[in-house]
Amino acid sequence: SSEVLEAIENVIQDVLKSLAQKKAPVLTVANRSVWRNIEFKDSVGLQMVPRCTTKHIRSDCPRSAHKFALMLKILSMIYKMVQSNTYATKRDIYYSDTLLFGSQSIVDNIINDISCMLKIPRRSLHILSTTKGFVAGNLSYTEEDGTNVNCTCSATVCIIKHLNRKDLISHAKFMLIVEKDATFQRLLDDDFCNKMSPCIMITGRGIPDLNTRLFIRKLQDTFQMPIFTLMDADPHGVEIMCVYKYGSLSMSFEAHHLTVPSIKWLGLLPSDLVRLNIHKDALIPFTKQDQNKLASIQKRPYIACQPMWKKELEIMAASKLKAEIQVLTSLSSDYLSRVYLPNKLQFGGWI
């Protein structure tokens, strides 16, 4: 807490010094939106380079003065919360003055800029993400407030909330990250966690929030178990898997706490669609957006060191067709849990 308060005080002192010298105060933040500020390392994923290019948020420039004011406003809110040991979600901050902030995305972006500028992880700023991730399977733990949570019971879903859990206990043999809530629920209904060897199942319900990513990293650090992903065979699914494995451009300054480079791509692979003779009528044609997204992913630095991934993306690009995991129901209603996943896990059908 004292580190956070000191870091904020240093920023404010610089603002006051500029004012005392009759200069317009400026806040300097790393440019988190350009690939030249990112380097790729196998062991970490995407991380910000030490001497990255920066942006100046000036108080005397019409284009940035409003953002300058918003950054000071949120810094003062963080300072008060750290002092009083209270917490707020990003949503709480936005709704404290919707007219001032304008949109939730503006608040989210400023919070990430502040975290990067102060070089302090976001969770230490007393700002919580609105949690959307679910976990089920062979796992129990104690919450910070002493509540015992057991995810092992059949069809139990625990919401991934705070990270300060103790006494993590699991006899799981592997972890399965599922892209969508619908597939996650279907696997729960089919009692997948118990029918296969004990496992932990997690979904971030689309693009994962910070808590879900931190939670997966915590489980990996604790149990060192194999982690597999089950995503749609489309550019969006691949993008989500890359966020879990290698991180994202905008959060690259926190890569060391968030990425899990050991994650494997279990399915749905574009080559599976050919191998399983999925009828073309069950597949969805690419949109222009899909083509652009796939082309962007193919240029990413980590694809070069993943020849099998490269091949799968080439199959997808050549066919210009995509498929949701639900396409497997065209083979049989329980094909995913009864045939597809058991065979893949048993015979090593991942890359």
- Exposed / middle / buried, residue 12 (Cβ in 10 Å: 0-12, 13-18, 19+): middle
Give the pairing type, strands 199-203 and 174-178: parallel
User: What share of residues in the chain are helix, strand, coil (percent, to 5)?
Assistant: 50, 20, 35
- Annotated catalytic sites, by residue? 95
Q: How far apart are CA 236 and CA 255, in angstroms?
A: 21
Which residues are CB-neighbours of 86 under 8 A, at least 6 positions away? 80, 126
Which residues are CB-neighbours of 167 under 8 A, at least 6 positions away? 140, 141, 142
Alpha carbon separation from 71 to 11, 34, 81, 184, 252 (Å, rounded): 11, 21, 15, 38, 20
Q: How far apart are CA 202 and CA 244, in angstroms?
A: 12
Cβ neighbours around 151 below 10 Å, total: 20
Q: How far apart are CA 53 and CA 36, in angstroms?
A: 8
The residue ranges of DSSP E strands in 144-241, in sequence order, are 148-150, 158-159, 166-169, 174-178, 199-203, 227-230
Helix (H) or strand (E) holding 219: helix 210-223
Q: How far apart are CA 227 and CA 160, in angstroms?
A: 17
